[in-house]
Amino acid sequence: MLNNIGLPGLLLIAVVVLVLFGRGKISSLMGEVGKGITAFKKGVKEETEEAKQSLEAARDVTPEEDKDKA
């Protein structure tokens, strides 16, 4: 059903949304979406760095050192 929308259909949908919600509301909504995407990317980057640090710390402990501690 939605396979045949095409460019004219998308433009019509965009115009209807613009008329219903207004430019200011859509602008603020897109700003919030942008902030959410930025926060998500920052969280993923921090988590990746944290995982790398954990992996490096685990590599620093060799099995021989681990046996000596026990």
For residue 26, what pLDDT is reported? 86
> Could you give the number of structural domains in the chain?
1
pTM: 0.54
66 against 42, higher pLDDT: 42
What is the spatial distance between Cα 6 and Cα 14, in angstroms, rounded to a whole number?
A: 12
Structural domain span for residue 49:
23-70
In a domain? residue 35: yes
Residue 43: exposure state from Cβ atoms within 10 A (0-12, 13-18, ≥19): exposed
In a domain? residue 11: no
In a domain? residue 15: no
